[in-house]
Amino acid sequence: QFGFPARSKPVSTDPNNCLNLMPELKCCPDRNPKKIVDFKLQPQSSPLRVRRPAHALDTEEAQKYERATALMRALPDNHPWNFVQQANTHCAYCSGSHRQLGLNISFEIHGSWHFFTWHRAYLYFYERILGKLINDTTFALPFWNWDDPSGMSIPPIYRDNSSSLSNPTRYLIGLKFIDLGGCEGNNTVESLPMQRQCNLQVMHRQFIAGFNSSSLFYGSPYRAGDNSFPGGGAIESSPHSSVHRFTSSDMSIVTRAARDPIFFAHHANIDRLWAIWESIPGNGSKVFNDKDFLEASFLFWDENMQLVRIMVRDVIDTRKLGYVYEQVPLPWMNLKT
């Protein structure tokens, strides 16, 4: 398990020190916060939000999501809920821009044990902002169910060029079959069953690789003062990065990735895999006794227009955050290899 270095500290975001290291993207937040509010889990007053497979949304669900995203895109450029500002939040944490509190060292959220945690918090606020924009407290992000054969291509809601959910710079990869890691085929009827099988094997191998070891699953410890990328977990490399590459265009460039709305469906699926792992008896307790993990904190604008500091300990349980994933088959879980 993880060791506890003497006098170690959790990483935390500095609200007053963000360097625009990518001048062409200007990822740092536009607004300087007057005040930062500590995040508090609220007792659930509304029903749990249920995140469903993107390819299985009904027309009404798809239209809601489309409308909420269109409203987000239409906000003034410097509004913290604006679509590009939201995408920049991801960029600021992966371009070396955000600094660690009190240290002149970048705060990087990939390649360490904060990969799952940061992205869960990010989607949490993003989902609630979208819900707020359409006045719907049950609005839930869809997930890209690429771990099941039924979801192994770009879901239809992301393919319509006139939709707020499309990305005009994404290649027209159309119905191309996904590659979760070394499974590229020529997309012929003959190659599809092999690609499908290969993808399921990648899923099985990567998920089971992290089954019994927290550091293989989450990635390596990352504490205040540490350099970026101590090492990522199995799922972060593939399928996570493979899907970014496959989707091409913005999605394949980490600092631009969240400018493609499909990013959020991709990461909802990553988050769902974490939730599945957490639900396996015994797994939950494996990492959560390290306070440098639990007390790490990030900054996000919330759905009440407040800048909020959220700690990892608050994102461990999706139900406490007010959402769950629809249960769908896991054809890779017990695969015979």
CB nearer ligand C2O, residue 223 or residue 256? 256
With beta carbons less than 8 A apart as the criterion, state whether 235 and 266 touch.
Answer: no
- Counting residues that bind ligand C2O (by CB under 6 A) gives 8
Binding ligand C2O (rule: CB under 6 A), the pick from 49, 110, 170, 272 is 110
- Minimum CB separation of residue 329 from ligand C2O in Å reads 24
Query: How many helices and strands (H and E) does the chain possess?
Result: 9, 7
- CA–CA separation, 257 and 261 (whole Å): 9
Taking the complex as a whole, the smallest distance from the CB of residue 119 to ligand C2O amounts, in Å, to 6
What is the sign of the dihedral through the CA atoms of 307, 222, 239 and 169?
positive
Site for ligand C2O in 71-100 (CB under 6 A): 90, 94
Of residues 238-297, which lie at the interface with ligand C2O (CB under 6 A)? 240, 244, 257, 267
Phi and psi of 232, rounded to 5°?
-95, 165
CB of 141 to ligand C2O, least distance (A): 14
Is residue 114 involved in binding ligand C2O (CB under 6 A)?
Answer: no
Contact set for ligand C2O, span 7-26 (CB under 6 A): none
Q: At what angle do helices 115-133 and 59-74 cross, to 10 degrees?
A: 90
**Three-state secondary structure call for residue 311:** strand
Least distance to ligand C2O, CB of residue 289, Å: 26
Q: Which DSSP string do the residues of 76-104 spell out, in sequence order?
A: -TT-TTSHHHHHHHHHHTTSS-EEETTSS
Q: Minimum CB separation from ligand C2O for residue 265, in Å? A: 11
64 vs 90, beta carbon nearer ligand C2O: 90
CB of 96 to ligand C2O, least distance (A): 14
Quickly count: other Cβ atoms within 10 Å of residue 280's Cβ: 10
Residues 191-220 within binding reach of ligand C2O (CB under 6 A): none
Residue closer to ligand C2O by CB (options 132, 299) is 299
Report the run of H or E that residue 50 belongs to, with start and end: strand 49-51
Among residue numbers 131 through 160, which ones bind ligand C2O (CB under 6 A)?
Answer: none
Distance CA 118, CA 49 (A): 20
List contacts with ligand C2O (CB under 6 A): 90, 94, 110, 119, 240, 244, 257, 267
